A and B are shown apart, each in its own frame.
Chain A
């Protein structure tokens, strides 16, 4: 689990480094996060939250979210670590410091921890017995967001609220092979969240 955490950490720092480059607008070191996100649902926890980075042109966000699903709400207590990349190509600036990003598209890789979940199947299975890893899910989503720039704690900060409609690998393959019984809405679910720039 520790190893995996380090892997995720490396993964997102490399991505963000590649996207960000050296910053000219502040003295902040490259590894200091640009924002924090807090998300509800979206198959990565009941609530999930964590730091993220944004590209210089403000279109590409990379986030690491630590998610938790309490047993009370999920039937089983589950901890998830997710790396997530969201691309929002257009931003419309409105009056009164409001702005909208009407379209976002993104994908994520999430790891759910627990002895019942494997990223590599144990040796007592023949090779290829099960073809998927139960611990790791790959998902994709589309969404949008709206934000406002406000002065907060003597700093100009951007607050955003976003939504995402998405699915993940195992649901997608189930749908593709059963378009008679399943509707797209059967495999899609909604996530909502907020973001605060640091």
Chain B
């Protein structure tokens, strides 16, 4: 019996080393390869190494959740666009918060000619999703500068935290907007837009006010609603735009320059 058990343990150890992915231990396991870790930090470095021009053109897409075939078609469409610097994924990378889903989406996004960065969506917060997201992409709130722009990514999935008043992190958002000495275009990107029922209703007005009171904020970008929107929701000079889902086969191309911007809708 002991020999059988020992053989069994040795055997499992051996094939475990040799065949990666053949064995799965739990749907909620978080086993990532080195090239599946810290992707936002790595890709921001790639973006910042790009030649800087007066205008920046990037793609906003999102909600890849369980739409792998459609997401693969998105890659073909995105790769045929000209002068794109990078792609922003507006969240809901996964549908069930499983690492396997994150891996599949990353595998698809690796086919892009451009680096991509992400913001976390509500579906990425279920089960072990936050653990996967942090390991694979990094911080839930982060920012970087490129050209004349400061891109600010913030977790707005308030419902996932039972509207505890801490999500989105408004003090952090304020400090990020304040820390902009050269008055770059401040572009706030999140998954759930503030006018959505999944955004903390007690924080909606304050959030909108923070954006409206900063002259560097002209527009702000979201996903989640699976439809295109472009409206000045609070009549305060800030345009709120949402991109649609991969299931609806569409995305936005945003072009920015000093003091201006243009947004195009693309369907594929």
A binds B: yes
Please list the residues of chain A having a beta carbon within 8 angstroms of any beta carbon in chain B: 38, 40-46, 67, 69, 73-76, 78, 80, 112, 116-117, 122, 124-125, 130, 132, 134, 137, 152, 159, 161, 168, 170-171, 173-174, 177-182, 186, 189-192, 194, 196
Q: Say whether A132 contacts B29, CB under 8 Å.
A: no
Residues in A neighbouring B1, C-beta threshold 8 A: 152, 196
Q: Say whether B68 contacts A194, CB under 8 Å.
A: no
Q: Say whether B98 contacts A125, CB under 8 Å.
A: no
B159 at the interface (CB under 8 A from A): yes
Q: Say whether B162 contacts A178, CB under 8 Å.
A: no
Residues in A neighbouring B162, C-beta threshold 8 A: 122, 124
Q: Say whether B26 contacts A181, CB under 8 Å.
A: no
Please list the residues of chain B having a beta carbon within 8 angstroms of any beta carbon in chain A: 1, 4-5, 8, 11-12, 21-32, 66-69, 71-72, 95-101, 104, 108, 126-128, 130-131, 135, 159, 162-163
Residues in B neighbouring A190, C-beta threshold 8 A: 22-23
Indicate whether A178 sits within 8 Å of B67 (C-beta atoms), given known contacts A38-B8, A170-B96. yes
The secondary structure that dominates the B interface is loop
Q: Say whether A74 contacts B97, CB under 8 Å.
A: no
Indicate whether A42 sits within 8 Å of B67 (C-beta atoms), given known contacts A76-B30, A134-B126. no
How long is the Cα–Cα vector from A145 to B206 in the complex, in angstroms? 63
**What's the minimum C-beta distance from A179 to chain B, rounded to whole angstroms?**
8
How long is the Cα–Cα vector from A196 to B32 in the complex, in angstroms? 35
Q: Say whether A178 contacts B24, CB under 8 Å.
A: no
**What's the minimum C-beta distance from A73 to chain B, rounded to whole angstroms?**
7
Q: Which 6 A-B pairs have the closest CB atoms?
A: A75-B30, A41-B23, A181-B68, A189-B24, A178-B68, A134-B127
Indicate whether A137 sits within 8 Å of B163 (C-beta atoms), given known contacts A75-B135, A152-B1. no
Q: Say whether A181 contacts B27, CB under 8 Å.
A: no
Residues in A neighbouring B30, C-beta threshold 8 A: 74-76
Q: Say whether B159 contacts A125, CB under 8 Å.
A: yes
How long is the Cα–Cα vector from A192 to B67 in the complex, in angstroms? 32
Residues in B neighbouring A152, C-beta threshold 8 A: 1
Q: Which of A40, A132, A178 makes the CB contact (< 8 A) with B23?
A: A40
Q: Say whether B159 contacts A189, CB under 8 Å.
A: no
Closest to B73 in A: A180
Q: Say whether A75 contacts B96, CB under 8 Å.
A: no
Q: Which of A41, A42, A174 makes the CB contact (< 8 A) with B66?
A: A174
How long is the Cα–Cα vector from A134 to B12 in the complex, in angstroms? 28
Q: Say whether A42 contacts B28, CB under 8 Å.
A: no
Q: Say whether B135 contacts A170, CB under 8 Å.
A: no
Residues in A neighbouring B8, C-beta threshold 8 A: 38, 40, 161, 194
Q: Which of B26, B32, B104, B127 is most buried by chain A, counting CB atoms within 10 A of its CB?
A: B26
Q: Which of A112, A124, A174, A189 makes the CB contact (< 8 A) with B101?
A: A174
Q: For the A-B complex with A45-B26, A181-B69 known, give 9 more contacts whose Cβ atoms are closer than 8 Å.
A: A40-B12, A41-B12, A42-B23, A69-B26, A78-B25, A125-B159, A161-B8, A189-B22, A196-B1
Q: Which of B4, B67, B108 makes the CB contact (< 8 A) with A159?
A: B4
Residues in B neighbouring A67, C-beta threshold 8 A: 26
Closest to A44 in B: B26
